[in-house]
Amino acid sequence: MIWLTWRQFRTQAAVMFAAVAALAATLAVTGPQLADLYRAAGSGLVDQVSSSDQTLYYTGLLVVLAVPAAIGMFWGAPLVCRELETGTHYLAWNQGITRTRWLATKLGLGAAASMTAAGLAALAVSWWSSPIDRAVNGGAATDTYFPRLDPVVFAARGVVPMAHAAFAFVLGVALGLVIRRTLAAMATTLVVYATVQLAVPMWVRPHLIAPDQTTVPITAGIPINIQEGAKQIVAHPEVPGAWETSQQTLNAAGRPAPVPSSFAECLHTESGLPTAQQIDGCIADLGAQGYQQQVTYQPAGNFWALQWAETALYLGPALALAGFCAWWIRHRVT
C-alpha cells in the first residue's frame, strides 16, 4: 500500500520538494553574509540589507505562507477525490486491504510529507531571516521588517508551518471526500484554509497565551495614531519585538472610556489637515485631562510558547478531520 501511495504521489511530491530545495539553496548562498552583517552592525543591520536580500526576505515569507495552502490544494484535495472521480477507488478497495487502511496509509504518508516540506521551507527561511529578526527584536527602528510575532511573519517562522501544512492537507482530503469534484474541492480548500488563517491571528492567537499590558501616558511627542475621525487613538509603547493585540483608552479614573469629543473639536480645522503643532497641543491637552492609553501585547519572549500553542491548535483539528475522513469513507462513500 505504501508502494502504491508513493507511486501515485511521487510526481506531486517531486514538484513541491524541488521548489523547496530551490528556495533553500538560494537562501543558503546569501544567508552567511547576512549573518556577518549582523555580527558587524548589530541592530543597525536593518538599514544595510541589500535590496536583493530584502526581496528574498519577502519571497521567503510568501513561500512559507503559500506552501501549506498549496499542499492542501494540490496534495490534499485530489488525494481521494480524484480516485472517486475516475472510479479507481473501486479498483483499490477490492484488493486485499481494507479501505480504512488504504486511507490511513495515504493520510499518514501525505501528512508526513506535508509537514516535512513545510518544515524544511520554514527552517530555511527562519534561519536566513534570523539576523533580521534578531535586529528587530533588539529594537531596530524599521518599517520594512516585521517582528517575529507580527501576524505577517509568525506563520512563516518556527514550527507552526508544519502544523498549518498538516491541517491544510487533511482539510483538502476531507473536502475532496465530501465534494467529490477535484476542482471544486481544490478551490474550497483554498478558501476555507485562507479564512482560518485570517481568523486565527485576529481572534484566537492573541488569547492562546496570557498577554502583557502596559499603560502609556499621553504626552506630546510619543508615537500615537489618530483613527476614525479622532474617536480612537493607538499608542505604540517601546517594547521591541512585541505584537500589540488591543488598545483601550482610560480616563482620569483609570476606567475604560471613549476618546472625549473635545479631542476631535480641538483637532478640527476649517480646511485641510491640522498642523503638527496643533496635533501635539491637542494630545497634550488630552493627557492633561488625565487620559492614558492601555496597550495589550504579546512580548517577544512569548514567541515559542505561542508557536507550540498554535501548533497544538492546528494539529487537534487535523486529527479530528482525519477521523472524520475515516468515518465518511466507511459509511458515506457510495
Partner 1 sequence: MSAVLRAQALGKKYKQRWALQNCDLDVPAGRVVGLVGPNGAGKSTLLKLVSGMLTPTTGTIEVCGGRPAEDMEQLAKVGFVAQDTPTYSALSIADHLDFGKRLNPNWDGELARDRIRRLGLDPKQRAGKLSGGQRAQLALTLGIAKRPELLVLDEPVAALDPLARREFMQDLMEAVAEHELSVVLSSHLVSDVERTCDYVIVLVDSRVQVAGDIDDLVACHHRLTGPRRAPDTLPAGQHVITASHTDRQTTLLVRTDTAVHDPSWTVSPLDLEDIVLAYMTRPANAVRDTRPALEVLR
Which positions lie near partner 1, rule CB under 8 A? 1, 3-4, 7-8, 86-88, 90-91, 93-99, 331, 334
For residue 26, which of 170, 125, 106, 135 has the smallest C-alpha distance? 125
All three cell numbers of 209: 497565551
Residue 3: CB minimum distance to partner 1, A: 5
Which CB, 2 or 28, lies closer to partner 1? Answer: 2
Q: Integer distance in angstroms from the first to the last C-alpha of the chain?
A: 22
Which CB, 255 or 331, lies closer to partner 1? Answer: 331
Task: Give bridge partners of residue 234 from the DSSP assignment.
Answer: 225
Cβ-based neighbour number of residue 4 at 10 Å = 14
Sole residue written with cell 512569548: 302
Which CB, 2 or 198, lies closer to partner 1? Answer: 2
Residue 96: CB minimum distance to partner 1, A: 4
Which CB, 59 or 105, lies closer to partner 1? Answer: 105
Which CB, 8 or 251, lies closer to partner 1? Answer: 8
Question: Rounded to an integer, what distance in angstroms lies between the CA atom of residue 292 and that of residue 35?
Answer: 41
Which CB, 33 or 86, lies closer to partner 1? Answer: 86
Residue 163: CB minimum distance to partner 1, A: 31
Q: Which residues contact 181 (CB under 8 A, 6 or more apart)?
A: 81, 85
Residue 330: CB minimum distance to partner 1, A: 8
DSSP-derived letter for residue 216 is E
DSSP percent split of the chain into helix, strand, coil, nearest 5: 70, 10, 25
Residue 167: CB minimum distance to partner 1, A: 28
Residue 72: CB minimum distance to partner 1, A: 22
Secondary structure (DSSP) of 24-75: HHHHHHHHHHHHHHHHHHGGGGGGT--HHHHHHHHHHHHHHHHHHHHIIIII
Secondary structure (DSSP) of 245-289: EEEEEE-TTS-B-PPPHHHHHHH--SSSPPPHHHHHHHHHHHHHT
Residue 77: CB minimum distance to partner 1, A: 17
Residue 85: CB minimum distance to partner 1, A: 10
Question: Rounded to an integer, what distance in angstroms lies between the CA atom of residue 53 and that of residue 51?
Answer: 5
Helix (H) or strand (E) holding 188, with range, is: helix 182-199
Q: Which residues contact 87 (CB under 8 A, 6 or more apart)?
A: none
Backbone torsions φ then ψ of 197, nearest 5 degrees: -70, -25
